[in-house]
Amino acid sequence: MSETDYSCDFMKPLDLVCEADPRNAGTYPDFMGGGQRKIDYFHEKISNFKLIDEIPVDVRIKFETAKNLYIYSWFVYRFFNIAEQQAFTCLEFGLREFFKDEIPNEYKNRYGDIYLGKLLKYTVDIEYIKNDDFEIHRHKTWLSAKQRYESEKLMEMHEKGLGEIILDESEVQIKPEDHSDYLAILLRNLPYLRNSYAHGSSMLHNNVLSTFQLVSEILNSTYQRKLNRELNGSG
């Protein structure tokens, strides 16, 4: 059976099981004709995200399962979103295992259950995760400071009547006004995305690496901060 004889949204014919999903061809044209090279590329990207050894093995296995799904999305495009869903499952499971019975009743529903939104809220409230734990927040903060610096230098140039002015990024200094509340964004968006998968979704996209980064940052920061507090009583 040829590649044109089946729909890539359905089960592949046996002779095409190890062929790339055609939808990956449009996104990664340089790799067509070299499927193994593309798998290597996927493997390299997802290998950047790891959970620290102090995290329980059952949690780390769920994360590794999600990573394997990401690799195999080269063959089945819809695995991208299954991988993302598994990453959210790992996050919820990891936080629940981490806190176990210590969560106050105010974070639980009337049946005593606690879900991702409240787990994240509790994690934020006790400062086990902070804005600066996230690379994307640190980067956006620096960009905001850089933009403010450039605006200030432009104003200085006009005030002094200069025709040009030197911009030196080493002079960029981050100030309080450059920060945003990234945690508030996470509290609003992550539970929504998790629930959209849990209750059924037709979502289809391949931009899921940022989710793996967030999950690893949240779990690593939470577990590491607890260890630090147990050792020296600090955050």
pLDDT at 36: 54
Q: What is the mean pLDDT of residues 78-96?
A: 96
Helices 35-46 & 209-232 angle (0-180, nearest 10): 30
C-alpha dihedral (117, 123, 124, 125), degrees to nearest 10? 100
Query: Rounded distance, CA 123 to CA 226, Å?
Result: 11
| Whole-prediction pTM | 0.84
Least Cα distance to 62 among 83, 90, 88 occurs for 90
> Residues with Cβ < 8 Å from 169, sequence gap 6 or more?
146
pLDDT at 28: 64
Q: What is the mean pLDDT of residues 50-67?
A: 97
Query: Rounded distance, CA 122 to CA 131, Å?
Result: 15
pLDDT at 1: 43
Domain boundaries, the chain: 3-130+200-232
Q: Is the pLDDT of residue 158 over 90?
A: no
Q: How many CB atoms lie within 10 A of CB 52?
A: 13
